[in-house]
């Protein structure tokens, strides 16, 4: 790959959240079309594939479950001379992309975020070193609460539903703090598996509170909730995830078919809406069990799901 091609890869990744046309919402099996990767694992629940300049990181809830891609990382620091951030930013802003300074920084590096694609970049010595492409298409919101002095989630979750409303009213979490709450709950699911029914019941209640309080826009709530219940089979009846997600798709089939190719041709608004559409489609298709016959609403979108690399759940299980 020439230097110009590598720089263009960085720009396309930042602007669209994709690398070589793939996004983290693609099914992992599609990413093996270039088999020149090294595969590494950290136990049974985390693995990554390394193509040199691009890495794809995967996780799953249980051994034997299908892999789910969490994010890509463009390892620009592996280039002989990583691109200058100011030049990349100038090109992005010229194309209409808004770039914000991230709150995470150290003495020798800064972090920036391209808002439409929700992508991030680590900058050191004025050069782009790492570009983060998350599966989550929604804005990064920093957590403002340290948790100091709050009752541990473990105690709250097992105290019984009658205690939960008063606890949440006292806590009065800000928007960014909800991710903090669910992060603690995720750790309990992982570390204390014998009480998973209690963690799931508490998590479902928390999500309903988040919906009632309009913590997130409807499509963002649906995505967070869907990822939660899909990782916990049986938490809700099959088909409920698809019914939640499909009415909230920001793009219809005609708009999806009309998306231009090339990062300079697609507008920031199209980037944002297409990424949300892909993420919600991924959740909806993962919800469908075998036999491989989708409901009518999903069948209509199957062509566009294939185009976007979103593989239906029944195919992932076969």
| pTM over the 0.95 mark | no
Q: What is the pLDDT of residue 292?
A: 46
Q: Decide which of 260 and 61 is more confident.
A: 260
Helices of type H across 287-312? 296-307
Strand blocks (E) in the chain: 38-42, 46-50, 54-59, 68-74, 99-101, 110-114, 119-124, 127-134
Average pLDDT, whole number, for the chain? 85
Q: What is the pLDDT of residue 306?
A: 62
- 233-257 average pLDDT score: 89
Q: What is the pLDDT of residue 254?
A: 83
Q: Number of C-alpha atoms within 13 angstroms, CB side, residue 290?
A: 5
Task: Give DSSP secondary structure letters for 170-198.
Answer: HH---TTHHHHHHHHHHHHHHH-GGGHHH
Q: For 9-27, what is each residue's pLDDT tens digit?
A: 999 999 999 888 788 877 6
Task: Give the separation between CA 282 and CA 308, rounded to whole angstroms.
Answer: 10
Q: What is the pLDDT of residue 281?
A: 87
Q: What is the pLDDT of residue 313?
A: 46
Q: Which of 117, 59, 66, 72 is nearest to 312 (CA)?
A: 66
Share of the chain above pLDDT 90, in %: 47
Q: What is the pLDDT of residue 148?
A: 38
Examine the pLDDT at 291 and tell me if it is beyond 70: no
- Bond prior to 99 in cis (omega within 30° of 0): no
- 227-247 average pLDDT score: 90
Q: What is the pLDDT of residue 127?
A: 96
Q: For 149-194, what is each residue's pLDDT tens digit?
A: 456 788 999 999 999 999 999 888 888 889 888 888 888 888 888 9
């Amino acid at each position: 790959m020439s230097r110009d091609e590598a720089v263009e890869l960085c720009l396309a990744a930042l602007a669209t959240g994709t690398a070589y046309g793939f996004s983290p919402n693609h099914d992992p099996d599609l990413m093996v079309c270039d088999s020149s990767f090294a595969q590494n694992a950290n136990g049974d629940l985390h693995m990554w594939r390394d193509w040199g300049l691009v890495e794809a990181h995967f996780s799953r809830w249980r051994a034997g479950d299908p892999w789910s891609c969490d994010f890509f990382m463009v390892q620009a620091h592996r280039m002989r001379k990583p691109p200058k951030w100011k030049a990349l930013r100038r090109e992005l802003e010229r194309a209409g992309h808004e770039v914000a300074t991230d709150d995470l920084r150290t003495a020798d590096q800064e972090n920036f975020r391209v808002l439409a694609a929700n992508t991030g970049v680590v900058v050191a010595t004025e050069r782009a070193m790492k570009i983060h492409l998350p599966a989550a298409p929604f804005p990064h919101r920093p957590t403002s609460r340290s948790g100091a002095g709050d009752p541990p989630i473990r105690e709250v979750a097992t105290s019984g539903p009658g205690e939960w409303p008063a606890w949440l009213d006292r806590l009065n979490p800000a928007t960014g703090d909800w991710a903090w709450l669910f992060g603690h709950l995720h750790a309990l699911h992982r570390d204390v598996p014998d009480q998973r029914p209690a963690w799931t019941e508490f998590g479902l209640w928390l999500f309903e509170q988040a919906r009632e309080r309009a913590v997130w826009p409807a499509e963002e709530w649906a995505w967070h909730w869907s990822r939660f219940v899909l990782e916990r089979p049986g938490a809700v009846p099959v088909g409920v995830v698809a019914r939640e997600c499909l009415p909230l798709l920001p793009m219809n089939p005609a708009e999806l078919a009309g998306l231009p190719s090339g990062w300079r041709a697609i507008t920031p608004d199209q980037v944002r809406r297409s990424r949300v559409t892909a993420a919600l489609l991924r959740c909806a298709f993962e919800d469908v069990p075998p036999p491989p016959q989708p409901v009518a609403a999903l069948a209509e979108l199957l062509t566009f799901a294939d185009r976007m690399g979103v593989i239906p759940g029944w195919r992932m299980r076969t």
